[in-house]
């Protein structure tokens, strides 16, 4: 799944759980594994066997998620529902379907050896993967448009308030 799918689906779920949630934080945390792993893949492909899912999608990433949770809990007086924000980070793994194909080897890295290489027929050119990603992006776009319409974010003051606070009013 890509940017709209991860961020909008996660932010919408967070908003359903807590109407006063800072959706900027929810969206950012939903993208965190890719914001870490994609640059590693581009800059050091040999380090991760050419995989776009590596450290942040692994057990090491889960430890990182615990560190994120600790930071959120440390800021608890200023953050509402830190466990919900942590779930936004972990939700990335669910939307990436990390139980399929060779992904369990990535999730359990380094316990099961090195990161696997891209499997034939399981990459971005695979029809099922492409369809899933396209569906996620379309759902994400629909959710963004729905929230924008419901909360009249097409009005400049409302959009400015949302960008400043991350909250829908």
Q: What is the pLDDT of residues 39-70, one digit of tens each?
A: 998 999 888 888 888 888 887 887 887 887 78
Kindly report the average pLDDT of the chain as a whole number. 86
Instruction: Determine contact, residues 107/90, Cβ cutoff 8 Å.
Output: no
| Cα–chain center distance at 22 | 15
Instruction: Locate all alpha helices (DSSP H) within the chain, ordered by sequence.
Output: 3-17, 23-43, 59-74, 82-95, 103-107, 127-150, 156-165
At 112, give phi and psi (nearest 5°): -105, 20
**Is the model more confident about 17 or about 82?**
17
pLDDT of residue 77: 67
Peptide bond into 107 cis (omega under 30): no
Task: Give the burial string for 131-154 (b: 16+ CB within 10 Å, else e).
Answer: ebeeebbebbeebbeebbeebebe
Q: What DSSP character marks residue 78?
A: T
Which of 13-17, 88-92, 127-131 has the weakest average pLDDT? Answer: 127-131
Q: What is the pLDDT of residues 70-107, one digit of tens each?
A: 887 787 666 678 888 888 988 998 998 888 877 888 88
C-alpha span between 82 and 9 (Å, rounded): 18
Is the model's pTM score more than 0.85? Answer: no
């Amino acid at each position: 799944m890509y940017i709209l799918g991860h961020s909008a689906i996660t932010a919408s779920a967070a908003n359903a759980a807590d109407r006063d949630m800072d959706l900027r934080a929810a969206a950012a945390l939903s993208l965190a594994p890719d914001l870490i792993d994609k640059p590693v893949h581009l800059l050091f492909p040999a380090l991760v066997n050419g995989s776009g899912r590596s450290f942040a999608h692994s057990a090491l990433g889960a430890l990182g998620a615990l560190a994120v949770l600790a930071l959120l809990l440390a800021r608890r007086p200023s953050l509402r529902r830190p466990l919900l924000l942590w779930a936004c980070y972990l939700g990335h793994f669910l939307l990436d379907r990390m139980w399929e194909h060779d992904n369990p080897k990535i999730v359990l890295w380094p316990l099961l050896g090195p990161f696997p290489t891209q499997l034939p027929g399981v990459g971005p050119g695979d029809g099922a993967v492409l369809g899933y990603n396209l569906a996620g992006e379309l759902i994400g776009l629909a959710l963004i448009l729905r929230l924008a319409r419901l909360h009249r974010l097409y009005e400049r003051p409302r959009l400015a308030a949302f960008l400043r606070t991350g909250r829908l009013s």
